[in-house]
């Protein structure tokens, strides 16, 4: 009987998701609550056919070198900026991402953050929890309306388009910016208008960042871009932390150049700039875009199937590099 391929999973997954993996692979899982160090991860993948990693793992050249049998590196997410794809390709290792399984969950979170920061939900809830609420106050927790406003979406792939679909229920005008303009069918279907980044920032009441991180998009939103936004505008980031120059964002918030921000991702995770935590008009969540039971199970199912395809020499839809 042919031995099943071996897979190392770098972080805990719900048991149902692990069951999906066990049905296909000889499975080894990191049992620690925190991410492994580079040395620990390098030791763990020795002798393994495949690695399933997460955004908290840094899969650099030193780690890849130690994967003596490694043929596939799969990312439990839609982006792989934590993986040295060029070196993996050089070593003949297929790199995979999940292009679609997390779309709806991440778009839902973007909207949850948008509504929460616009309506000051978090500080209002904290007042109740503290026991200090003295009754209705006409001066308390003024926010900004969402319905009928303009939503600017930076990055108009699957997630950005899913964010746009939700905007129709709020009768919002949708602007988008992307490296490539989408077809007229997509624009018409989503009632979205393509504009330059500068136009989007100047016209939007809410700016949602849903772009992937590349060398070109790093600090896409900096001092100049934040200065282009309206004083009453909000920035929502569920893409990647380094899309934003956090020092510039903190300065803009303190100087009231924008109304607020909601951040699920950060430049130097898990470190969060403590300045954000001091501001009542900032919401920070710990990278929970896909933290749904149903989503994680579907992610496990899809990525397990794609890993098997890659090990069989086939090219899954989530492949990000070409292996000869």
Distance in angstroms (rounded) separating the CA atoms of residues 231 and 181: 28
Cα-Cα-Cα-Cα dihedral of 150, 152, 153, 154, to 10°? 180
| 267 catalytically annotated | no
Residue 240 is among the residues annotated as catalytic for this protein? yes
Q: In the chain, where do the E strands start and end?
A: 6-9, 26-29, 50-53, 72-75, 94-96, 150-154, 173-177, 192-194, 206-209, 234-237, 260-263, 282-284
Distance (Å, whole) CA 298 – CA 252? 39
Nearest to 205 by CA among 168, 169, 152, 257: 152
CA angle 98, 306, 297 (to 5 degrees): 60
Whether 241 contacts 215, CB under 8 Å: no
d(CA 290, CA 287): 8
Name 8's bridge partners.
28, 51
Helices (DSSP H) in 23-76: which residue ranges?
38-45, 61-65
For residues 261 and 279, what is the distance between their CA atoms, to the nearest angstrom? 10
Active site residue 11: no
Give the Å distances, CA to CA, from 303 to 21, 77, 85, 169.
Answer: 9, 9, 18, 32
- In the set 225, 287, 296, 298, the catalytic residue is 287
Q: Is 190 helix (H, G, I), strand (E, B) or coil?
A: helix
Q: Of the residues 240, 246, 296, 298, which is catalytic?
A: 240
26, 62, 199, 269: the catalytic one is: 269
| CA dist 273 → 68, 277, 278, 279, 282 (Å) | 38, 8, 10, 11, 12
Which of the residues are catalytic?
A: 240, 269, 287
């Amino acid at each position: 009987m042919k031995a099943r391929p071996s897979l190392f999973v770098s972080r805990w997954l719900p048991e149902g998701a692990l069951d999906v993996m066990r049905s296909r692979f000889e499975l080894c899982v990191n049992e620690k609550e925190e991410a492994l160090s580079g040395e620990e991860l390098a030791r763990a993948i020795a002798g393994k056919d495949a690695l399933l990693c997460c955004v908290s793992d840094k899969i650099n050249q030193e780690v890849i070198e130690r994967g003596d049998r490694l043929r596939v590196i799969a990312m439990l997410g839609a982006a792989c900026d934590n993986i040295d794809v060029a070196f993996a390709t050089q070593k003949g290792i297929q790199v995979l991402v999940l292009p679609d399984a997390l779309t709806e969950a991440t778009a839902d979170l973007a909207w949850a953050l948008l509504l929460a920061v616009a309506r000051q939900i978090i500080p209002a809830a904290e007042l109740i929890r503290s026991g200090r609420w003295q009754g209705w106050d006409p001066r308390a927790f003024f926010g900004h309306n969402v319905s009928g406003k303009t939503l600017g979406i930076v990055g108009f792939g699957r997630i950005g388009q899913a964010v746009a679909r939700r905007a129709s229920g709020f009768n919002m005008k949708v602007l988008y910016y992307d490296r490539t303009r989408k077809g007229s069918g997509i624009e018409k279907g989503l009632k979205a208008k393509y504009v330059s980044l500068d136009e989007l920032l100047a016209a939007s009441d809410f700016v949602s960042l849903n772009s992937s991180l590349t060398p070109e998009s790093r600090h896409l939103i900096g001092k100049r871009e934040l200065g282009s936004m309206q004083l009453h505008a909000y920035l929502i980031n569920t893409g990647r932390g380094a899309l934003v120059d956090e020092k510039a964002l903190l300065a803009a918030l303190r100087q009231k150049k924008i109304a607020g921000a909601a951040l699920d991702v950060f430049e130097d995770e898990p470190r969060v700039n403590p300045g954000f935590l001091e501001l009542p008009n900032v919401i920070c969540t710990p990278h929970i875009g896909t933290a749904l039971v149903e989503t994680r199970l579907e992610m496990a199912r899809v990525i397990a199937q794609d890993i098997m395809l890659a090990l069989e020499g086939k090219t899954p839809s989530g492949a990000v590099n070409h292996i000869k």
